[in-house]
Amino acid sequence: MGRHDFAWMIGGPQGSGVDSAANIFARACCYGGLHVYGEREYHSNIKGLHSYFHVRVSKREVRSRVDFVDLLCTFDAESVVRHVWEVSPNGGIICDEAVSSTKISDIQTLTPPFLEEFQKIMEKKKVEAETVGDLLNAAKKSGVHVYAIQYMDLIKDLAEQIGEPKLSKLTRMINVLSLGISFGLLDYDKAMVKKAISTIFADKPRVIDMNMMALDNAYEYVNQNLGGGFDDQRLETVQTDEKRILVSGFQAVALGKLLGGCRVQTYYPITPAADESVHLEAHEIFKLVPEVSGGEEKGSIVVMQAEDEIAAINMASGAALAGARAATSTSGPGFSLMVEGLGWAGMNEVPVVVNYYQRGAPSTGLPTRHGQDDLRFVIHASHGEFPRIVLASGDIEECFYDAVRTFNYAEKYQMPAIHLTDKALANTTRSYKIFDTSRAKLERGQLLFQIENTEQYKRFKFTKSGISPRIPLGTPDAVFWNTGDEHDEFGHISEEPQNRTRMMEKRMKKLEIADREIPIEERVNFFGEPDAQATIVSWGSPKGAILDAMEKLSQEGWKVNFLQIRMIHPFPKEYVSKVLSRAEKRIVVEMNYSAQLASIVREQTGLVLENYVLKFNGHPMSSDELFDAIKLILTEKASERQVLTRGS
Amino acid sequence: MALNVADYRSNVFVDWCPGCGDYGILAALQMALAELQLPPHRVAVFSGIGCHAKTPHFVNTYGVHTLHGRTLPFAVGAKLANPELEVIAVGGDGDGLGIGVGHFVNTGRRNVDIIYLIHDNGVYGLTKGQASPTLKFGLKTKSLPKPNINDAVNPIALALTSGYTFIARGYAYDVSHLKEMIKRGIEHRGLALVVVLQPCPTYNNINTKEWYRGEDRADPATGKPRSRLYKLEETGYDPKVHSQETDMSKTISALKKAREWGDKIPIGVFYQNEAVPTYDERISMRIPHYREKPPAKQKICNEAGAPTTDLTALFDELRVT
């Protein structure tokens, strides 16, 4: 039986090539016309702690992760211990033969909380295991295929072929060997894997050669030793004419920003935001479309690594004042430092953009793990009242288009704009039809590059909309002033009560205008039929899991629809009220403890969302657990507040 | 038509205390701009928070009054986006050497072609006279309940070790000398620091105008006060690094001068090195069209809003089918 819907996982110590093996795996699948969804999990550690990549492969688009693994690919003991229970009943485990004798209690990187939980599961499953081998035997009994590989022999063979006497130099090939075993078992088209290796190591010909050899040897090993392959199942390629990319959230944001005209990016290193800035810096010079640019061939972005996040946002504001589209990119701890600067930008109507990647919080929290804890924070951050835009993307494709729009909103309404994403989006890799750049339209609002009338320019001129014509620093025949103090129309300090009232109203008015003008299609998505037994309300990255869970529910005959709120501020309250007041059951799904969106919905519409599905353990929601949770609600078996806990 | 000092005055009422050193600094700045004939629209004056921070409002150029300690990041961001701007950052001693000292040091690493003027009066005036980072250890200015328990930071020495390539000191009541320092700082290619010693007549009752003038140490022969300040240029001191081999010895001489205080306080240029590449030169090495098409001058879309950026090559890196 051929298949093209499959969940593969590779685990191993950080620094052992898990990422590159997963990258090759995902690319090779894509080259074969398949879609992939790869979720990366890692510790806040450089080398040694456990990391893994969970990759779903399908001939259709994949939007979320699932809880099971069809084929678990490992080369260390810890990965077996951590993930053995996730392997589906007729799935497989690839492991190093040598780990069988390893005592579980000897694996030093397994933490006390993990072992406690592990013990509970073993008791529940009535398994007694002292060694990894005991665990593997238990798995075998439940129908899992165990492929114990003599990795050391494979490495020795490779060493002989290459003529490298030092085996230690070749141990890092273990990731590709395990990958080759995976593909060998699946009898997947080797040419696709070779193409992936050649692309990924394009600038390292020797590495390509070694990887190719390892791959051949692994396929050969499977032929000779593991005849019959994996449960007689092949992973089959499919034909496609679609032009596709394999893209991570941070890359989608970076590309969207370049397209959106971002020409200054400032940042201070922080996980998981920094990848975006590094990607931008690596592409600091790019081509322009000569027909649009007026013949200009090259554009560029200046990426500045600042001394801290305080400097980062204020440098970006300085650049925005000079007329460039400017942004900074950060995560929770960094944004905490930026809030004073955000308030200044609000007060001075500066169109500065912040790309905000949430992660588990508070404080340092879970630096490399997922969370959606900061919704309340971003809409209220900084003292006082000032307008801002907050836009939250639900998937990687939205990250791209929203990155463009965030700049438009910032400039049109002359206020700081925050593009809210998270770790799950940043570090997930997904295949997509190539993004349509013709959909992007830049709007710069009332930005002028020259002054036409002769009266003295007023940067904060009172207007009906509250929006004043804006000029960059350096514009001839004019000057203006800015200050964080309350100011008059020229930008000079003023504490006069009448002026204060008018200025507050002027600034806040812009939010009303934005609320009125921004089309609803850019602010919400609605999925499903208007009539449904339940309406899910959510924001951000749970989108994919929700859509996949809905599909499964509909296969069982349930009718569920989904309101995804993308613009959190200004809140699309009329639309949300309309949809939610006709909903039969209202379920909020989000990745935080206190159901922050639900409280905002209540504040903005007066409507109560009766059912909470929440998760805050650092791992993205899977469509499986969400399906279970929604079903409990539909069958009236759920408590008001369900907390999801899966993830490893 | 030639510009004169009046062209650089805004019509905002100057509300510093009578006798404040800020008046002298403002006048010197306006005179320097006039002598350099810089068109007001090309100049952007940035400030932090404190008494100094009102400076931009009194100058008829672009003026950006920012946050406490954050003058430099704003100023650097604007300069980065548009290197044609003549960027003048003014800061206070508390502002720039306390809350903002991280930016002071890190801006030095970049040698951005701007000038930074620090108003140094030893106190936080606008919050009623607490000790600033430049107030010496053990001094008790009039609103301190106890003598200063902290030692003072030495901005000249700190600048020397942070990468500033023009380092000078002026005195707020010697306006014409200060104007020269500012002019030279603006003309310098690279990051220029001008520290301005400045009495605070309201809160610093120790480093007063009379103290700087040396009224407490009159010449016994003539009865005339002997000023504590002296000009480096009048002593034959040469601050310029003429070749990189002499950089070490120049830095050491400057450091020695920076440590002089008490009865002999040098003003003038301590150090100047024009051989260090400026930040815009460094960017230009990576992005050859940077000076000609800096971020603020790039066309990002046409009139219909179509983006100029061509992502084809970037998508190609991600292409899988």
Are A139 and A163 found together in one domain?
yes
| A243 chain-B contacts, CB cut-off 8 A | 319, 321
Is B115 part of any domain?
Answer: yes
Contact A319 B80 (CB under 8 A): yes
B301 interfacial to chain A (CB closer than 8 Å): yes
B154 interfacial to chain A (CB closer than 8 Å): no
Helix (H, G, I), strand (E, B), or coil: what is residue A574?
helix
Interface of B with A in 24-53 (CB under 8 A): 39-42, 44, 46, 49
The pLDDT of residue A169 is 84
Is A466 part of any domain?
Answer: no
pLDDT tens for B210-227 read 999 999 999 999 999 999
Is A517 part of any domain?
Answer: no
The pLDDT of residue A12 is 96
Read off the pLDDT of each residue in A20-38 and give the average, rounded to a whole number. 97
Last residue of a domain, one of A198, A215, A235: A235
- By Cβ distance, the residue of A245, A299, A437 closest to B318 is A245
**Structural contact between residues A443 and A261, judged by C-beta atoms closer than 8 angstroms:** no
Contact B321 A31 (CB under 8 A): yes
By C-alpha distance, which of A407, A81, A419 is closest to A249? A419
**Structural contact between residues A286 and A257, judged by C-beta atoms closer than 8 angstroms:** no
The pLDDT of residue A3 is 64
B77 interfacial to chain A (CB closer than 8 Å): yes
B292 interfacial to chain A (CB closer than 8 Å): no
Is A502 part of any domain?
Answer: no
The pLDDT of residue A167 is 85
B146 interfacial to chain A (CB closer than 8 Å): no
- By Cβ distance, the residue of B81, B308, B318 closest to A322 is B81
**Above 80 in pLDDT, residue B1?**
no
Average pLDDT across chain A, whole number: 96
| Domain count along chain A | 3
Read off the pLDDT of each residue in B312-316 and give the average, rounded to a whole number. 98
Average pLDDT across chain B, whole number: 97
Are A209 and A268 found together in one domain?
no
Is A462 part of any domain?
Answer: no
Contact B44 A492 (CB under 8 A): no
Are A220 and A321 found together in one domain?
no
- By Cβ distance, the residue of B64, B105, B311 closest to A255 is B311
Provide the edge-to-edge strand list for the sheet that holds A302-305: A302-305, A262-267, A325-331, A353-358, A417-422, A389-392, A567-569
The pLDDT of residue A164 is 85
Last residue of a domain, one of A170, A204, A235: A235
The pLDDT of residue B39 is 98
CATH number, domain containing residue A325: 3.40.50.970
Tokens 């909020």 belong to which residue? A588
CATH number, domain containing residue B157: 3.40.50.970
pTM passes above 0.90: yes
Quickly count: other Cβ atoms within 10 Å of residue B244's Cβ: 10
Is B317 part of any domain?
Answer: no
Contact A284 B286 (CB under 8 A): yes
Is B152 part of any domain?
Answer: yes
| B82 chain-A contacts, CB cut-off 8 A | 322-324, 472-474
Contact B306 A322 (CB under 8 A): no
Read off the pLDDT of each residue in B40-63 and give the average, rounded to a whole number. 98
| A260 chain-B contacts, CB cut-off 8 A | 300, 307
Strand A567-569, strand A389-392: pairing: antiparallel
Is B296 part of any domain?
Answer: no
Is A500 part of any domain?
Answer: no
User: Which pLDDT band holds residue A228 (cuts at 50, 70, 90)?
Assistant: low
Read off the pLDDT of each residue in B101-108 and give the average, rounded to a whole number. 98
B66 interfacial to chain A (CB closer than 8 Å): yes
Q: Strands (DSSP E) along A385-456, which ranges? A: 389-392, 417-422, 428-433
The pLDDT of residue A1 is 36
B84 interfacial to chain A (CB closer than 8 Å): yes
Are A190 and A264 found together in one domain?
no
Are A211 and A304 found together in one domain?
no
Are A276 and A195 found together in one domain?
no
Are A139 and A199 found together in one domain?
yes
Read off the pLDDT of each residue in A373-401 and give the average, rounded to a whole number. 98
pLDDT tens for B271-310 read 999 999 999 999 999 999 999 999 999 999 999 999 999 9
Contact A255 B314 (CB under 8 A): yes
The pLDDT of residue A454 is 77
User: Which pLDDT band holds residue A2 (cuts at 50, 70, 90)?
Assistant: low
Contact B75 A284 (CB under 8 A): no
The pLDDT of residue A453 is 77
Is B321 part of any domain?
Answer: no
- By Cβ distance, the residue of A283, A319, A480 closest to B81 is A319
CA A394 – CA A214 distance, rounded (Å): 39
Pick among A242, A340, A448, A483 to test the B interface (most B CBs inside 10 A): A483
B73 interfacial to chain A (CB closer than 8 Å): yes
Are A254 and A206 found together in one domain?
no
Are A364 and A251 found together in one domain?
yes
- By Cβ distance, the residue of A259, A260, A482 closest to B64 is A482
Tokens 């380092």 belong to which residue? B167
Is A314 part of any domain?
Answer: yes
| Domain count along chain B | 1
User: Which pLDDT band holds residue A106 (cuts at 50, 70, 90)?
Assistant: very high
Range of the domain at B277: 5-282
Is B82 part of any domain?
Answer: yes
**Above 50 in pLDDT, residue B109?**
yes
* Greatest pairwise CA separation for chain A in angstroms: 87
B9 interfacial to chain A (CB closer than 8 Å): no
* Category of A545 on φ-ψ map: left (φ > 0), alpha (ψ -120 to 50) or beta: alpha
Read off the pLDDT of each residue in A335-342 and give the average, rounded to a whole number. 98
User: Which pLDDT band holds residue B125 (cuts at 50, 70, 90)?
Assistant: very high
Residue A199: both structure tokens together: 């692309």
Is B287 part of any domain?
Answer: no
By C-alpha distance, which of A298, A301, A309 is closest to A280? A301
Contact B82 A473 (CB under 8 A): yes
| A30 chain-B contacts, CB cut-off 8 A | 320-321
The pLDDT of residue B167 is 98
Contact A442 B305 (CB under 8 A): yes
**Torsions phi, psi for A54 (to 5 deg):** -110, 120
CATH number, domain containing residue A230: 3.40.920.10
Pick among B95, B318, B319 to test the A interface (most A CBs inside 10 A): B318
Is A76 part of any domain?
Answer: yes
Angle at A419 between CA A449 and CA A67, to 5 degrees: 155
Q: How far is B200 from chain A (nearest CA, A)?
A: 23
CA B57 – CA B125 distance, rounded (Å): 18
Are A253 and A287 found together in one domain?
yes
Tokens 């009303």 belong to which residue? A512
| A301 chain-B contacts, CB cut-off 8 A | 295
CA A620 – CA A371 distance, rounded (Å): 8
Range of the domain at A296: 247-439
CATH number, domain containing residue A622: 3.40.50.920
- By Cβ distance, the residue of B42, B49, B311 closest to A258 is B311
Last residue of a domain, one of A202, A235, A268: A235
CA B60 – CA A487 distance, rounded (Å): 16
pLDDT tens for A36-88 read 999 999 999 999 999 999 999 999 999 999 999 999 999 999 999 999 999 99
Read off the pLDDT of each residue in A466-471 and give the average, rounded to a whole number. 98
Is B205 part of any domain?
Answer: yes
Q: What percent of chain A has pLDDT above 70?
A: 99
**Above 90 in pLDDT, residue A355?**
yes
B296 interfacial to chain A (CB closer than 8 Å): yes
Are A256 and A228 found together in one domain?
no
Q: How far is B114 from chain A (nearest CA, A)?
A: 14
Helix (H, G, I), strand (E, B), or coil: what is residue A403?
helix
Contact A292 B321 (CB under 8 A): no
Are A283 and A404 found together in one domain?
yes
Quickly count: other Cβ atoms within 10 Å of residue A290's Cβ: 12
Is A454 part of any domain?
Answer: no
Contact A481 B57 (CB under 8 A): yes
Q: What percent of chain A has pLDDT above 90?
A: 95
**Structural contact between residues A343 and A484, judged by C-beta atoms closer than 8 angstroms:** yes
